[in-house]
Amino acid sequence: MGAPVCLEYRIEGNDFMVAGAASNNIKNTLKMLGIDSGICRRVAIITYEAEINLVIHAGGGMLKAEIYEDHVVLIAEDQGPGIADISKAMTEGFTTASDQAREMGFGAGMGLPNIKRNSDVFNIESEVGVGTTLTCTVYFNKK
C-alpha cells in the first residue's frame, strides 16, 4: 500500500442524527481494503466512541483515520472544554454527559474505557479550556 489512506471527518457537536456515520465509513473502508473483521470491529468501537464523545462533550471536532499497511492510527481532536481529570474520565461509569444525552441513551461513562480496551496504543492529551487530542493505534497483525 505505499502512502497511507487518510480519511478525515468534521463532527458537529450535539448532532445526534448523524453521530456514527464517520465511524461507519472508516469501518467500511477497512473492510473494502480486506482488513480482518475482528480488527474492523475494534476500530469501529474506537471511532464510534470517539465520535460520540465529540458530539456529546466537545462541541464537535475532527475524526481522522490514517490507514497503513500493517496498522491504523485514529485521531480525535477537539477544541472543547478539555478534561480536568483524565484518570477519573477513564473510570468506567464516570460521565459528564448532559441529561439530554443520557436520556437518548448516550453518556454511560464507557467511551474512554472502551476506546482504551480496543486500542493497541492509547494516548490522550487534554487541557482545560483548550481541548483534547485522542490518538489510538490498532495493528492488523498483532501477535
pLDDT at 138: 98
pLDDT at 44: 97
- Separation of alpha carbons 117 and 66, rounded Å: 20
Residues of the chain with pLDDT under 70: 1, 142-143
At 124, is the secondary structure helix, strand, or coil? Answer: strand
Burial 88-119 (b: 16+ CB within 10 A, else e): ebbeeeebebeeebeeeebbebebbbbbbebb
pLDDT at 143: 43
pLDDT at 100: 87
pLDDT at 42: 97
pLDDT at 104: 86
Residues 81/96, Cβ–Cβ less than 8 Å: no
Q: Specify the number of domains making up the chain.
A: 1
pLDDT at 8: 97
pLDDT at 141: 76
pLDDT at 107: 85
Q: Domain span at residue 33?
A: 5-139
Mean pLDDT for all residues in the chain: 94
CATH number, domain with residue 17: 3.30.565.10
